Amino acid sequence: MSKPIVILENIYTGYGTKPVLEKVNLRIEANDFIGVLGPNGGGKTTLMKLILGLLNPYSGKVSFPSGRPPTGYLPQVSQIDKSFPITVKELVSSGIKDKNPWFPHLGTSQRKRLQHILDEAGLTKLASRPIGELSGGQLQKALLSRALINKPRLLILDEPNTHVDKQFESDLYKWLKELNKEMAILLVSHDIGTITPIVKTIACVNGTLHYHPSNQLSEEVLRVYNCPVDVIAHGPIPHRVLKSHEHDNQ
Amino acid sequence: MSDYLSIFEYQFFRNAVLAAILISVFAAMVGTYIVSRKIVFIGGGITHASFGGIGIAYYLGANPFAGAAIFAILTALGIEWIAQKGKVREDSAIAILWSLGMAMGIIFVFMTPGYTPNLMSFLFGSILSVSTTDLYVLAGFGLLVGIIYAIFFRPILYTAFDPEFAQVMGVRVAIFRYMMSVLMAMAIVISIRSIGIILVLSIFTIPQITAMLFTRNFARIIPLAALWGITGSVTGLILSYLLDIPSGASIIFFLTIQFLILKLFFVIKQKIATRSAKV
B121-151 pLDDT, tens per residue? 788 888 988 999 999 999 999 999 999 999 9
* pLDDT > 70: percent of chain A: 83
Radius of gyration of chain B (CA): 20
Q: Do residues B51 and B68 lie in contact, with contact meaning Cβ atoms separated by under 8 Å?
A: yes
Spatial separation of the C-alpha atoms in residues B146 and B25, rounded to whole Å: 9
pLDDT, residue A224, reads 53
Measured between CA atoms, how close is B152 to chain A, in angstroms? Answer: 7
Instruction: Mention every residue, 6+ apart, whose C-beta is less than 8 A from residue B244.
Output: none
Confidence at B73, pLDDT banded by 50, 70, 90: very high
Spatial separation of the C-alpha atoms in residues B141 and B146, rounded to whole Å: 9
How does pLDDT run across A43-85, given as a tens digit for each residue?
A: 898 999 999 999 999 999 999 998 899 999 999 998 899 999 9
- Using CA atoms of A130, A135, A141, A146 in order, give the dihedral in degrees to the nearest 10: 30
> A-side interface with B, Cβ within 8 Å?
16, 52-54, 71, 73, 75, 79-81, 84-87, 90-91, 93-98, 101, 103-106, 128, 130, 132-133, 146, 150
Beta bridge partners of A188: A36, A158
- B166 and A94 within 8 Å at the Cβ level: the answer is yes
B32 neighbourhood in chain A, CB within 8 Å: 85
Counted across chains A and B, CB pairs separated by less than 8 A come out at 77
Amino acid at position A18, single letter: K
- B169 and A95 within 8 Å at the Cβ level: the answer is yes
Nearest to B249 by CA among B207, B184, B196, B186: B196
Q: Which of A2-6, A178-182, B189-193, B209-213 has the lowest mean pLDDT?
A: A2-6
Average pLDDT, chain A: 83
Nearest to A151 by CA among A111, A119, A183: A183
pLDDT, residue A241, reads 41
Measured between CA atoms, how close is A230 to chain B, in angstroms? Answer: 28
Q: Do residues A94 and B155 lie in contact, with contact meaning Cβ atoms separated by under 8 Å?
A: no
Instruction: Mention every residue, 6+ apart, whose C-beta is less than 8 A from residue A188.
Output: A36, A44, A45, A47, A48, A156, A157, A158, A159
pLDDT(B78) > 80: yes
Spatial separation of the C-alpha atoms in residues B191 and B248, rounded to whole Å: 11
pLDDT(A230) > 60: no
The CB density around residue B241, as the number of other CB atoms within 10 Å, is 18
Instruction: Mention every residue, 6+ apart, whose C-beta is less than 8 A from residue A230.
Output: A190, A191, A192, A193
How does pLDDT run across B99-114, given as a tens digit for each residue?
A: 999 999 989 988 888 7
pLDDT(A139) > 50: yes
How does pLDDT run across B152-204, given as a tens digit for each residue?
A: 999 999 999 999 999 998 889 999 999 999 999 999 999 998 889 888 999 99
Spatial separation of the C-alpha atoms in residues A25 and A154, rounded to whole Å: 18
Q: How far is CA A64 from CA A9, A72, B9, B71, B135, in A?
A: 11, 16, 70, 45, 55
* pLDDT > 90: percent of chain B: 71
pLDDT, residue A187, reads 93
Confidence at A218, pLDDT banded by 50, 70, 90: low
What separation, in Å, do the N-terminal and C-terminal C-alpha atoms of chain A show?
A: 37
Three-state helix/strand/coil letters over chain A: CCCEEEEEEEEEEEECCEEEEEEEEEEEECCCEEEEECCCCCCHHHHHHHHHCCCCCCEEEEECCCCCCCEEEECCHHHCCCCCCCEHHHHHHCCCCCCCCCCCCCCHHHHHHHHHHHHHHCCHHHCCCEHHHCCHHHHHHHHHHHHHCCCCCEEEEECCCCCCCHHHHHHHHHHHHHHCCCCEEEEECCEHHHHCCCCCEEEEECCCEEEECCCCCCHHHHHHCCCCCECCCCCCCCCCCCCCCCCCCC
Confidence at A232, pLDDT banded by 50, 70, 90: very low
Spatial separation of the C-alpha atoms in residues A197 and A216, rounded to whole Å: 9
pLDDT, residue B167, reads 92
3-state secondary structure of B38: coil
Higher pLDDT, A147 or B6: A147
B164 neighbourhood in chain A, CB within 8 Å: 54, 75, 79
- B217 and A71 within 8 Å at the Cβ level: the answer is no
How does pLDDT run across B19-59, given as a tens digit for each residue?
A: 999 999 999 999 999 999 999 999 999 999 999 999 999 88
Spatial separation of the C-alpha atoms in residues A152 and A155, rounded to whole Å: 6
pLDDT(B86) > 90: no
> B-side interface with A, Cβ within 8 Å?
32, 36, 38, 87, 151-152, 154-155, 157-158, 160-162, 164-172, 212, 215-219, 221
- Strands A201-205 and A33-37: what pairing? parallel
Confidence at A181, pLDDT banded by 50, 70, 90: very high
Q: Which residue of B has its CA nearest to A84?
A: B36
Complex prediction ipTM: 0.88
pLDDT(A245) > 90: no
B158 vs A73, A79, A94: nearest CB: A94
pTM score of the predicted model: 0.88
- Strands A209-212 and A201-205: what pairing? antiparallel
Spatial separation of the C-alpha atoms in residues B43 and B189, rounded to whole Å: 11
pLDDT(B69) > 50: yes
pLDDT(A225) > 80: no
